[in-house]
Every structure is written in C-alpha cells, then in structure tokens.
C-alpha cells in the first residue's frame, strides 16, 4: 500500500513541462494590439491650443505603401497606449467636426463622428507611399490644462472594425487661454525679514546687528523667510551676497558644511535648530519645501553665494524657514566694521 | 520768547529730517510674482506680455530693481541655476537680447501691478527655445552688519516656431526612491517593505528646444496582466531644458484626492507580492511637428518580508513533509526486509 505513495518523478516533470507549454501558448494567444505596424512621421497641429478652444486639428503621417486601406480612425484618448481601452479627454468634443481637407491618400468621406472618434471611410484600396494630411474642424479642445493624445489607426474595412493594420499616437497639450478670467494664475509669494510671526504682512525688520565680534565667543543671529506657491512645478530659493566684509578685509566664509569653532574665521548659515551655538529653529508650516542637504544639517553651517538653500518639488502651502547665522573670528582678525547684504532669491522651477 | 519758539520748531523740524531717511529706508521685503511664463513668438515679430508683482507688505513700499539674467539647469531636477555675475556671457538660449522691461518698479504698500515687457525676435532667428529670467530685487542698502533683501525671479520661456532640432534620449527608467530633498535618489529592482511608490525616467535633451514629453506608464504583473496605469507621465508639463539631463518623477495619482508626485504625496499603491514590469511610452514634439516616440521597460520585485516569511514557512513545512515521507518509506522498506 505504502509503495503506491512513491512519487513518479519523470511523470511529474512531464506534467509540469506540459503545463508550462499550455500557459505559454495561452498567454501568447491573448489579444495583442502591438501586431499593427507603426505609422511614421506622425504629427498633430492644433491651431489654437487654449483649453476648451473650438479650433482646427490637422493630422499628418506617412502612408505606408501597398496596404489595403478602407478606413482611418482618429481617436482622442487620455493616454496613448493601444493595449488600453480609450477614455476620451474631459471636455473634448469632435462630434460636430467635418473633414475640411485631405491630401496624399484621398477619396475618404467622414462617417458621423462621436465625441472623441472620427472615422474616414472609402472603398478599400491599396495605399501609395507618401505624406497624408487630413484636417478637421470644429473640434473643442479638452477643458483641463493637460496632455491629450490621438490614436491614429488604418483598417482594411470601411468602418474601422476588425484589427488595424497600422497604428501610431500623437500628443498635444492644452495651454492657458488668455480669455479665461476665472482661473487662478500661478503665483509665488515670498518674504524675508528678521522676524515673520504670521503671514508676509507681519514681516518685521531688514537689518541685523551682531554687536562686537570676539574670538572667545561665537556671534549668532537669525532671520526668517516665508514662501508658498500654487505653481505645480514648485520653487527654488538661493542665497547671494558676500561674506562679512570691512573694506578689503573679510571673514572667511565656510565653503563646506562645518561646525562652529571659536577662534577660527568663519561665516556661515543654515536653516535648522542648532545647539552649537544655541540658535535657530526648525522649518515650520504645512508646506512640503525642504532645506537642501548643505544647509539642512543642524550645527553645520556654510555660505556660498548663489547656493540653493531650499526647494519645493511642487505646489506647496507656506513654510517658514529660519536662517541661523554664525560668525567666528580669530584673535588676529583685523579690526573694522564688518557687514554684508544677503539677498534671498526665490524663483519658480521648470 | 519768539526766538526760543522758532528754535524749538527748527529743532523739531531737524529732528524729523534726521528721522525721515530711516522711515524712508524701511522697505518691503515681501513680494508675490509670476513664477513662469511660456510664450510663442514668431521670428520677425513682437509679443507684449506682463509679469504680475504684488507688494505683500501692507505698511511699507516695495522698490525693486529689475534685470534680466540667464540661467541653466542646476541638476537633474527643475531647479534653475541663475547666472548672477555682472557682464556674464550670454547663453546659447538667452532671451536677454530680445527682451525689454523697465529697470525699476515701485509699488505702494499692499498694491500689485502687471509689469509690461516685450519680446522681439529678429527675422531670421532660428527656431527653438529661448529663455532667461527676470529678477525683481528689493532695493535695500544700509550700514548695518547684516542687511536682508528679497528677490523674486520669473522664468520666461519663448518658443520660436519652425523646424527645430528635437532630440531626447532616454538614459534611465525604473522604479525610483528619491532623497528627502528630491534632488537625487536611486533606481531599484527589489522592494521588501512597500511596493515602489514612484517611477522616474531620465532624458537627455540634445536638441535646441525645451521639451515637455507626454506619455503613460503601464504596470503588468508576472502573468502579463495590466495592474496599474499612470495616464500622465508628465502631469505638470515639466521641461527638459537645452543641454539638460532631466529626471521626471512619476507616481500613481489618486483619482479621488489628486495626490501625485508634485504635491509631494505619492499615493500608496497596493500590489500583490511578485515580479512586475513597467512599460513607459513617451511622445514629444512641438505642436505641428513630427511626433517622436520613446519606449522603455523596467522590472521590479515586490517581496515583502511577511511574504518571504510565509514562503520560508511553506518550504519548511514541505521539507518536513518530505522528511516525514522519507522516514516512513525507509521504515517500511526496512520492515519488508
């Protein structure tokens, strides 16, 4: 009885191999739109790219030679992938469009269009190689500020049914229309001051006095900046200026993130709460902006004119950053009134 | 008595005069600006446009010096690198020779304005992208130890239509984990805790036009079934500047909340453990120009620790079972002998 339980390994391996072959051929037989040939030199010209504009759309591509063409389907979708079902872009409307002109491969009439599908039809005939151009109007552009796609397919049938022989996608992007007055434009708000207890209207002070500098003590001070933007591509903040200077004499700036050392010539800043010396505050606010690594490490300071000190990768609510400055001087530092002007530059990103 | 009175008045007047420069010197360091403008200007034509400026201080005036400076990409992201040098040489894509704007702007407290400027592209100028930055710099100066000044910069892009060289080359594509400041990160193939929440692709722009590619990403499981689609692989029209190698970060966007990579909150995605392939399809080309296509695919494993533990447990049970059967078999054969 027990001998019946002994595994028949060769038989099991044969079964596994058979199963693998069945799975392979099963998956291979799934619908595959990638079998269509690619259409070359495709382009779409949207005469007015403004959102919701009622305009003319031109399509151009190289017609392959010797292909039986009975119809051309132009389908507007939210993505270009032929393996996915097409979803029409929001607001796009081609249902009133008519074929204004055709060149290259001709003889087409337009079947009644739907919101996002236009079909050109003719009795099936072999195509000749060359540039084919078809223009349509009126077409209403999508309403969001976004990319949209047109899938172009050639069919041997007269009504764009069955598998397509050739395929290609083109992309376009709607742009902000000058006639739109209700839209909130991108704005970047930015302020710098010694203290900013609330919004930018509460910014207070543009000058910092550090008192007398001494080799035995690190001089420190703070200022603040408040930034926010609704621009989707975010912002970048730079610091520009000179190190502390008195005529031709300077206090050396820290070229790399470094700790504070009394008795050394050091000028630097960072955007964090520090313990050595006890100065600064952590960034605050519900925004997503962050300090760059060189200026974002507690107790490490540096200064380079033109350095990026904070960035936001996207639209963001307000963040308050506190600049912590430190100044150390050596005992042989030449006397004088040392000063600097620091310009904080905030720019949109791209 | 009158002399005393006059002297007092003169004293007060002088005191006011002494104070006045300090009051005047107090100036706003808060401004709102247009961060980016994109225009199309045909060669031989002029376009008039405006840049928005707002004085965010309700008590102090905003006096700004205005100048046009050049910039390039500072790294793989969309951060510009401003060329703040005086007399800096023009970049190949500089708009400086073509742009005209006032060199000084003043705004009363709480007021805003649209600052006009013009871009004139000479006839015969080659097609492509030209861009510079307009810097609004608060006019602050003092004899204090540290003087703070705020400056806002608007990036201005002008596209000159025509036959331009359009060339993007894909350098990398795959699942991606950015650093905290998103300036860099790493492409990965194995994920042990959560599925990768975002993808990235790196494109080198060798053309003479700033490109904003459009496309989609399709994620398939080990059986070839579509499990996720990212419809817009460049949702916010990010640009690869001329000569830049630009990284485009893409993450699953939550249809309900609209959360996406550029809001800093990639939506969490649920995937079953296994192997996945992400396919990227990108199209680029200016409106009316030939569409160029880029295809790439990248695979990744999502093997959470709990799944590995379950697999190990199953293997252990199997091993135990085999050992048990082996023992039974050897025992029964011994009995038969």
pLDDT tens digits, residue range A129-179?
A: 999 999 999 999 999 888 899 999 999 999 999 999 999 999 998 887 654
User: Would you place residue A11 in the very low, low, confident or very high pLDDT band (cuts 50, 70, 90)?
Assistant: low
The reported pLDDT for the residue numbered B13 is 39
DSSP code at position A145: S
Neighbours of A141 (CB within 10 A): 26
What span, in angstroms and rounded, lies between the C-alpha atoms of B234 and B214?
A: 6
Residue in the structure block whose two tokens are 């790493």: B186
Write the residue in B263, B264, B291 that is nearest to A43 by C-beta: B291
B32: contact with A, CB 8 A cutoff: yes
Strand, helix or coil at A285?
A: coil
The reported pLDDT for the residue numbered A284 is 97
- By the 8 A CB rule, do B210 and B241 touch? yes
- By the 8 A CB rule, do B54 and B31 touch? yes
What span, in angstroms and rounded, lies between the C-alpha atoms of B275 and B196?
A: 12
B184: contact with A, CB 8 A cutoff: no
Neighbours of B87 (CB within 10 A): 4
The string of pLDDT tens digits covering residues A216-271 is 999 999 999 999 999 988 999 999 999 999 999 999 999 999 999 999 999 999 99
User: Would you place residue B12 in the very low, low, confident or very high pLDDT band (cuts 50, 70, 90)?
Assistant: very low
Please tell me the distance in Å from A205's CA to the nearest CA on chain B: 8
The string of pLDDT tens digits covering residues A43-66 is 999 999 989 999 999 999 999 999
| Range of weakest confidence among A241-250, B9-18, B81-90, B237-246 | B9-18
In chain A, where the domains are located: 33-173, 188-348
Among A142, A149, A148, A135, smallest CA distance to A177 is for A142
For residue A250, give both structure tokens. Answer: 């300077």
The reported pLDDT for the residue numbered A233 is 87
Query: Does residue A30 register a pLDDT over 60?
Result: no
What span, in angstroms and rounded, lies between the C-alpha atoms of B257 and B174?
A: 25
The string of pLDDT tens digits covering residues B182-236 is 888 999 999 999 999 899 999 999 999 999 999 999 999 999 999 999 988 998 8
Give the architecture (CATH level 2) of A188-348: Sandwich (2.60)
For residue A320, which residues of chain B lie inside 8 Å, CB to CB?
Answer: none
When the candidates are 2.60.40.1220, 3.40.50.450, 3.40.30.10, 3.20.20.140, the CATH number that belongs to B168-303 is 2.60.40.1220
Task: Return the residue in A81, A194, A203, A206 with the most chain B beta carbons within 10 A, the one to mutate for interface testing.
Answer: A206
The reported pLDDT for the residue numbered B335 is 73
User: Would you place residue B143 in the very low, low, confident or very high pLDDT band (cuts 50, 70, 90)?
Assistant: confident
A341: contact with B, CB 8 A cutoff: yes
Write the residue in B182, B237, B329 that is nearest to A313 by C-beta: B182
Burial of residue A64 (number of CB atoms within 10 Å: 0-12, 13-18, 19+):
buried
Q: How confident is the model over A329-341, as a mean pLDDT?
A: 94
Write the residue in B77, B143, B151 that is nearest to A344 by C-beta: B151
The string of pLDDT tens digits covering residues A300-310 is 999 999 999 99
Q: How confident is the model over A311-330, as a mean pLDDT?
A: 95
User: Would you place residue B25 in the very low, low, confident or very high pLDDT band (cuts 50, 70, 90)?
Assistant: very low
What span, in angstroms and rounded, lies between the C-alpha atoms of B335 and B328?
A: 10
Chain A residue with Cα closest to B39: A175
User: Would you place residue B19 in the very low, low, confident or very high pLDDT band (cuts 50, 70, 90)?
Assistant: very low
Strand, helix or coil at A49?
A: coil
Put simply, the answer to whether B288 touches A210 (Cβ < 8 Å) is: no
Write the residue in A170, A190, A349 that is nearest to B80 by C-beta: A349
CA distances from A219 to A240, A262, A270, A279, A326 (A): 21, 9, 14, 10, 6
CATH class label, B25-160: mainly beta
User: Would you place residue B23 in the very low, low, confident or very high pLDDT band (cuts 50, 70, 90)?
Assistant: very low
A80: contact with B, CB 8 A cutoff: yes
B196: contact with A, CB 8 A cutoff: no
B307: enclosing H helix or E strand: helix B305-336
| Range of weakest confidence among A17-26, A228-237, B150-159, B296-305 | A17-26
For residue B141, which residues of chain A lie inside 8 Å, CB to CB?
Answer: 341
Write the residue in A170, A191, A192 that is nearest to B283 by C-beta: A170
Put simply, the answer to whether B262 touches A314 (Cβ < 8 Å) is: yes
Write the residue in B52, B141, B216 that is nearest to A80 by C-beta: B216
What span, in angstroms and rounded, lies between the C-alpha atoms of B320 and B323?
A: 5
For residue A344, give both structure tokens. Answer: 């904080």
In chain B, where the domains are located: 25-160, 168-303, 312-337
* A–B CB contacts, 8 A cutoff, strictly below: 297
The reported pLDDT for the residue numbered B236 is 81
Phi, psi of A158 (to 5 degrees): -85, -15
Which residues 20-49 of A have a C-beta within 8 angstroms of B?
Answer: 27, 30, 41-46, 49
Q: For domain A33-173, is the CATH number 2.40.50.1020? A: no
Write the residue in B29, B78, B328 that is nearest to A233 by C-beta: B78
pLDDT mean across residues, chain A: 90
Q: What ipTM does this complex have?
A: 0.83
The reported pLDDT for the residue numbered A181 is 42
Strand, helix or coil at B196?
A: coil
The reported pLDDT for the residue numbered A168 is 95
* 3-state SS, one letter per residue, for A179-234: CCCCCCCCCEEEEEECECCCCHHHCECCEECCCCCECCECEEEEEEEEEEECCCCC
Put simply, the answer to whether A200 touches B263 (Cβ < 8 Å) is: no
Give yes or no on whether B25-160 and B168-303 have one common fold: yes
Please tell me the distance in Å from A35's CA to the nearest CA on chain B: 16
DSSP string, B252-273: PPPTTT---GGGT-PPP----S
What span, in angstroms and rounded, lies between the C-alpha atoms of B143 and A248?
A: 16
Chain A residue with Cα closest to B288: A45
Determine how β-strand B99-101 pairs with β-strand B30-33.
Answer: unpaired
A242: contact with B, CB 8 A cutoff: no
pLDDT mean across residues, chain B: 88
User: Would you place residue B11 in the very low, low, confident or very high pLDDT band (cuts 50, 70, 90)?
Assistant: very low
Q: How confident is the model over B332-336, as a mean pLDDT?
A: 76
């Amino acid at each position: 009885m027990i001998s019946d339980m002994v595994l028949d390994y060769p038989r099991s391996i044969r079964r596994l191999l058979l199963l693998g072959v069945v799975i392979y051929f099963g998956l291979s037989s799934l619908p595959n739109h990638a079998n269509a040939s690619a259409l070359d030199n495709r382009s779409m010209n949207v005469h007015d790219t403004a959102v919701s504009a009622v305009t003319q759309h031109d399509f151009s591509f190289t017609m392959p030679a010797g292909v039986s063409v009975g119809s051309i389907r132009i389908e507007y979708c939210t993505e270009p992938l032929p393996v996915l079902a097409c979803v029409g872009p929001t607001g796009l409307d081609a249902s009133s469009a008519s074929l204004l002109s055709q060149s290259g491969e001709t003889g087409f009439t337009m079947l009644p269009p739907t919101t996002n599908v236009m079909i050109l039809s003719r009795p099936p005939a072999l195509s000749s190689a060359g540039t084919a151009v078809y223009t349509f109007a009126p077409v209403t552009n999508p309403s969001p500020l976004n990319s949209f796609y047109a899938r172009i397919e050639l069919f041997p049938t007269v009504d764009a049914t069955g598998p397509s022989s050739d395929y290609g996608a083109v992309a376009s992007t709607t742009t902000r229309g000058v006639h739109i007055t209700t839209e909130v434009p991108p704005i970047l708000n930015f302020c710098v001051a010694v203290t900013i207890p609330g919004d930018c209207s509460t910014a207070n002070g543009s000058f910092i006095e550090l008192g007398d500098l001494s080799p035995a003590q690190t001089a420190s001070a703070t200022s603040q900046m408040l930034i926010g933007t609704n621009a989707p591509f975010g912002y970048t903040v730079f610091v520009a200026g000179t190190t502390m200077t008195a005529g031709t004499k300077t206090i050396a700036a820290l070229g790399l993130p470094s700790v504070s050392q009394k008795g050394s010539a050091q000028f630097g800043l960072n955007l964090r709460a520090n313990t050595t010396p006890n100065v600064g505050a952590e960034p605050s606010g519900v925004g997503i902006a962050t300090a760059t690594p060189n200026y974002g490490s507690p107790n490490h300071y540096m200064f380079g004119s033109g350095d990026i000190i904070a960035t936001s990768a996207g639209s963001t609510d307000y963040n308050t950053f506190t600049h912590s400055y430190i100044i150390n001087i050596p005992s042989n530092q030449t006397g004088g009134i040392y000063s600097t002007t620091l310009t904080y530059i905030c720019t949109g990103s791209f | 008595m009158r002399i005393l009175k006059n002297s007092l008045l003169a004293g007060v007047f002088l005191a006011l005069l002494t104070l006045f420069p300090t009051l005047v010197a107090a100036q706003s360091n808060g401004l709102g600006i247009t961060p980016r403008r994109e225009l199309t200007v045909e060669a031989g034509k002029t376009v008039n446009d405006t840049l928005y400026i707002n004085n965010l201080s309700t008590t102090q005036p905003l006096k700004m010096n205005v100048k046009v400076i050049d910039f390039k990409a500072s790294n793989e992201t969309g951060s510009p690198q401003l060329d703040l040098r005086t007399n800096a040489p023009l970049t190949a894509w500089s708009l400086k020779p073509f742009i005209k704007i006032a060199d000084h702007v003043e705004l009363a407290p709480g007021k805003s304005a649209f600052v006009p400027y013009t871009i004139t592209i000479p006839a015969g100028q080659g097609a492509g992208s030209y861009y510079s930055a307009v810097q609004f710099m608060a006019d602050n100066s003092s004899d204090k130890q540290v003087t703070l000044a705020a400056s806002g910069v608007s990036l201005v892009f002008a596209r000159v239509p025509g036959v331009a060289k359009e060339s993007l080359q894909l350098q990398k594509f795959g699942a991606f984990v950015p650093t905290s400041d998103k300036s860099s990160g790493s492409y990965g193939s194995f994920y042990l805790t959560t599925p990768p929440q975002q993808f990235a692709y790196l494109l080198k722009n060798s053309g003479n036009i700033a490109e904003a590619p459009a496309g989609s990403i399709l994620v398939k499981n080990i059986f070839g079934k579509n499990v996720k689609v990212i419809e817009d692989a460049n949702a916010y029209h990010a640009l690869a500047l001329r000569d830049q190698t630009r990284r485009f970060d893409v993450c699953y966007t939550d249809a309900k909340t609209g959360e996406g990579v550029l809001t800093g909150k990639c939506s969490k995605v649920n995937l079953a453990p296994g192997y996945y392939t992400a396919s990227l399809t990108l199209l680029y080309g200016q409106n009316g120009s030939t569409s160029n296509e880029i295809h790439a695919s990248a695979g990744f494993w999502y093997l959470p620790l709990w799944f590995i533990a379950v697999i190990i447990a199953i293997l252990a049970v199997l091993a135990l079972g085999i050992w048990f059967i082996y023992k039974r078999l050897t025992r029964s054969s011994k009995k038969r002998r």
